[in-house]
A and B are shown apart, each in its own frame.
Chain A
């Protein structure tokens, strides 16, 4: 019998992108040193465009100088995947998981992230599916509702998934989302007639779907986000 697996969940509200990277770096080191269990960050970002390791900035369709005018930031990251947008009313989960502890590789991990989002969408009667080859992510028909971009170092994950609850989809007009030109972006609001509960409830549901997909025996909901938000090295 395998030993019971625990995950700690931090719900952080709106977090600036760079700050979230600092928090993840710290957690990845701590996870690698076995100082913390698998940890899940649940948050949102202010309007932010991000690029992956391949730096596909040709997929940003407006000049960088225009970004402040539309109230958005741009960041280059080490995650996989192409360009994407994060903003209010988009639920983000950053799992900091030791893949070696569960014998997972990148493929299993990403497939499980996809399954989590599909399961979550089904709670609202939305039939979502995983993408075809080269189209990692979660789709409703030909419309993308959930995106994935992950980094794995020494078997520990960071970055993660972004699920569109009801973000301002106009922001996606300024990019070729995920480098896929002819497909739309959609949201839970657009795909369901069901009444959407509060953000807090929605985030909790998404977290629960992910925790189930990864077969955690025990989920510890951390109450005080200031513990990891108030990092001393706030330069």
Chain B
């Protein structure tokens, strides 16, 4: 777990954001927004980059396949746009924002494991041009998301 926090701190300083130092296993980065289906999004002006969170990749197991959307594809907040496969399970990934796909992370085709090893950096999945910047208000900030993860994990 110490290793995780070390990694998270390195990521954080590279991204110039701060890490929420909590006792549980997954890393949550401040300055990102989060959906309750465990996707993170980084919004920069009219563009957004997103992927799945550390909590999500930990609960999925080793990712062996990522289904990426086509460029130009429309995504809607809360709706599925692709999927990942791990341990013989395909899990839909939902888009945390609405917009048009302008770039996908082609590295994931050869190296789907990047989603596990680097969920916030090299494991990014999609970049979109936002159609509704106001939608980000519906997402959780890092504190809310950390709490959300704690509550989910307490269920079993």
Given contacts A105-B58, A106-B61, A107-B59, contact A80 B153 (CB under 8 A): no
Q: B residues within 8 A CB of A152?
A: 89-92
Q: B83 contacts A136, CB within 8 Å?
A: no
Number of A-B contacts (CB under 8 A): 86
Q: B residues within 8 A CB of A136?
A: 87-88
Given contacts A2-B155, A53-B83, contact A106 B59 (CB under 8 A): yes
Q: B87 contacts A110, CB within 8 Å?
A: yes
Q: Is A133 interfacial (CB 8 A cutoff)?
A: yes
Q: B residues within 8 A CB of A153?
A: 80, 91-92
Given contacts A52-B90, A53-B83, A106-B89, contact A133 B58 (CB under 8 A): no
Given contacts A103-B154, A103-B155, A107-B60, contact A150 B67 (CB under 8 A): no
Given contacts A2-B155, A103-B153, A110-B61, contact A150 B56 (CB under 8 A): no
**Which of A53, A100, A110, A150 meets B152, CB within 8 Å?**
A100
Interface residues on A, range: 20 to 34
Q: A residues within 8 A CB of B91?
A: 106, 152-153
Q: A residues within 8 A CB of B22?
A: none
Cα distance, A204 to B87, chains bound together (Å): 26
Residues from 64 to 95 in B contacting A, C-beta threshold 8 Å: 64-65, 67, 80, 83, 85-92, 94
Q: Is A47 interfacial (CB 8 A cutoff)?
A: no
Q: What number of B residues sit within 8 Å (CB to CB) of A?
A: 26
B154 nearest in chain A by CB position: A103
B152 nearest in chain A by CB position: A103
Q: B62 contacts A80, CB within 8 Å?
A: no
Q: Is B21 interfacial (CB 8 A cutoff)?
A: no
Q: Residues 143-156 of chain B: 1 if any A CB is under 8 Å from the residue's CB, otherwise 0?
A: 00000000011111
Cα distance, A81 to B65, chains bound together (Å): 10
Q: Residues 108-131 of chain A: 1 if any B CB is under 8 Å from the residue's CB, otherwise 0?
A: 111000000000000000000000
Q: Is A31 interfacial (CB 8 A cutoff)?
A: no
B80 nearest in chain A by CB position: A153
Given contacts A104-B156, A154-B37, contact A81 B58 (CB under 8 A): no
Q: B residues within 8 A CB of A105?
A: 56, 58-61
Cα distance, A103 to B156, chains bound together (Å): 6
Q: B89 contacts A102, CB within 8 Å?
A: no
Nearest-CB distance from B52 to chain A (Å)? Answer: 11
Cα distance, A104 to B92, chains bound together (Å): 15
Most A-side CB within 10 Å, residue of B37, B61, B86:
B61
Q: A109 contacts B152, CB within 8 Å?
A: no
Ordered nearest first, which 5 A-B pairs have the shortest CB separation?
A105-B59, A103-B155, A107-B61, A81-B88, A150-B89
Could you pull out 6 A-B pairs where Cβ atoms are within 8 angstroms? A53-B83, A54-B65, A80-B90, A103-B153, A105-B56, A106-B60
- Apart from the given pairs A80-B85, A105-B59, 16 other A-B contacts in the complex at a CB distance below 8 Å: A52-B88, A52-B90, A78-B83, A80-B87, A80-B88, A80-B90, A103-B153, A105-B60, A106-B59, A106-B89, A107-B59, A108-B156, A110-B88, A148-B87, A153-B80, A153-B91
